[in-house]
Structure 1
Amino acid sequence: MLTAKNLFQEIIDNDESFQLFCSIAASGEAQGGWENGRIAALVAPGLRDLAPKISRHGADEDKHGRIFHALMRKRGLEPVPVPPETDYTMLLEQRGIGLAHDKLRREEPLSEQDIVVYLSHSRVTEQRAADQMELLVKYFGDHPELGRAIHMIDNDEVNHLAYCHEELLRLNRQGHGRLIQRVLRECALAEIQVYRDVSLAVMSHMGRILRWPKAKAAVLAAGIHAVYAYERAAGWHKMVDLRMPERRDALGGPATPAPAF
């Protein structure tokens, strides 16, 4: 039976597909670490209290990248170039989602509106990350090779999502509500399209590596399109609602180290 668990098991059992999977994940995490580091350095003067939390977010992302590199090293594998069509963060930027890298490379302070855009973008993408890690924990939380790493990253993603909810609610109370809702909606609708396109591209590469028959590839592609259709119709609403999280001040301390990796 073709299930998410069986599909991922097939990917991690093969060195070449596992190498590509970890390389894509590590690249995205490293990019997120850089972005958060630059935003922390340039954060709007009126929101300087956010800088340590943004830095913590970036440190977590860097840590996740190191974890994926370590998982490859354990198998004697080296990172491989990430195909452009699978680069989630780059494709989001090309769609105008989040803060442009050109802006982050300058030494000009960001505005409060920029921080609203950053947090709204993060709220959407962290929802995706948290959902994916929840699924991996469900299926592979006790895996001897991946289990510890998955649990560690999952805990961080829950913290990141809680932080986004809490800070956006605070900014909403300060009068940014209309901007927050507009940016959240724009980000969510663009993200589900990018996620669909990246998913199709990743599955195409995995199918080539694992020599999937055309029928199997077609079923997987149809499943990805079905998920997109659901998210386009209703599922995107999950990415834009705001509620006070159970974990308060989730990024209020230093990043949790990962000594095992």
Structure 2
Amino acid sequence: MLSARSLFQEIIDHDDSFQLFCSIAASGESQGGWENGRIAALVPDGMADLAPKIARHGADEDKHGRIFDALLHKRGLEPVPVPPETDYTMLLERHGIGLPHDKLRREEPLTEKDIVVYLAHSRVTEQRAADQMDMLVKHFGNHPELGKAIRMICNDEDNHLAYCHEELLRLAAAGHGRTIQGVLRESALTEIKVYRDVSLAVMAEMGRVLRWPRAKSAALTAGIQAMYGYERFGGWHRMISLRMPERRGALNGPPTVAPAF
């Protein structure tokens, strides 16, 4: 019977599929680290209080990329090129989610609206990241090879999501509510399509590597499409709600280190 646990177990048990999984994850995290680092450097003067938190977010993402690279190296594996159709971060940017890279490469300060849009985009994508890590911790939190890594990343993703909620609520109270609401809705509806397409591409790559029979690949494709149907019908609403988190000031202070990696 197909399940998230059995599927992921199969992927991590095979060196080639594990190599691809960690390479995709490391690439996305490293890209997120660069983006947040550039945004932190370009925060407008009127929002300077956010710069250390955005920098902390970027440092966490960089750390996650190093963790996935370390998991590869522990098996004697090297990162492999990421197929473009599996590059979640790149495809999000191509669809307008995230600040354009050409803007981030300049040395011009961002606008206040840019920061509001960035945080709204992050609230959506961090929900996806937190959901995925919660699932992995549920099934593999005690795994001898992966458990410590995914628990650490999961805690960071929960912090990132809490920070997005808290800062967006503060900005909404300061008069940005209408912008935030519109960006959240547009971002969520775009993200669920990108996530579906990336999921289909990743499963196709894994099927090729693991030589899945057509029936298994078809069942997984149907499952991904069904999940998209659920999210398109109403599941996307979980990605746009805002509530004050239990973790207040989640990104205050320096980033946590990962000495084991």
Give the TM bin, normalised by the shorter chain.
Answer: over 0.9
Partners in 2 of 1:158 and 1:94 — Cα distance? 26
**Counterpart of 1:26?**
26
Partners in 2 of 1:98 and 1:61 — Cα distance? 15
**Counterpart of 2:81?**
81
Q: 2:145 aligns to what SS in structure 1? A: coil
Q: 2:81 aligns to what SS in structure 1? A: coil
**Counterpart of 2:14?**
14
Alignment pair present for 1:42 and 2:42: yes
Partners in 1 of 2:255 and 2:102 — Cα distance? 27
Partners in 2 of 1:182 and 1:236 — Cα distance? 14
CA-based RMSD = 0.4
Q: 1:205 aligns to what SS in structure 2? A: helix
| TM-score calculated relative to the size of structure 2 | 1.00
Partners in 2 of 1:88 and 1:188 — Cα distance? 14
Q: 2:242 aligns to what SS in structure 1? A: coil
Structure 2: gaps (5+ residues): none
Matched ranges for 1:53-202 at <5 A: 53-202=53-202
Write out per-residue CA displacement over residues 201-243 of structure 1, whole angstroms, 9 at most, x where no aligned residue.
0000000000000000000000000000000010100000000
Deviation at 1:135, TM superposition (A): 0.2
AA aligned to 2:196 is: R
AA aligned to 2:116 is: V
Deviation at 1:10, TM superposition (A): 0.1
Partners in 2 of 1:146 and 1:189 — Cα distance? 32
Alignment pair present for 1:215 and 2:226: no
Partners in 2 of 1:37 and 1:97 — Cα distance? 17
**Percent identity (aligned):** 79
AA aligned to 1:217 is: S
Partners in 1 of 2:183 and 2:116 — Cα distance? 8
**Counterpart of 1:224?**
224
Deviation at 1:98, TM superposition (A): 1.5
Deviation at 1:96, TM superposition (A): 1.1
Q: 1:254 aligns to what SS in structure 2? A: coil
Partners in 1 of 2:226 and 2:169 — Cα distance? 32
Q: 1:246 aligns to what SS in structure 2? A: coil
Write out per-residue CA displacement over residues 21-71 of structure 1, whole angstroms, 9 at most, x where no aligned residue.
000000000000000000000012110000000000000000000000000
Q: 2:258 aligns to what SS in structure 1? A: coil
Alignment pair present for 1:244 and 2:244: yes
AA aligned to 1:167 is: E
**Counterpart of 1:259?**
259
Deviation at 1:260, TM superposition (A): 0.3
AA aligned to 2:144 is: P
AA aligned to 2:13 is: D
More off after superposition, 197-206 vs 93-102: 93-102
Partners in 1 of 2:222 and 2:45 — Cα distance? 48
Q: 1:237 aligns to what SS in structure 2? A: helix
AA aligned to 1:99 is: L
Number of corresponding residues: 261
AA aligned to 1:192 is: I
Q: 2:244 aligns to what SS in structure 1? A: coil
Q: 2:243 aligns to what SS in structure 1? A: coil
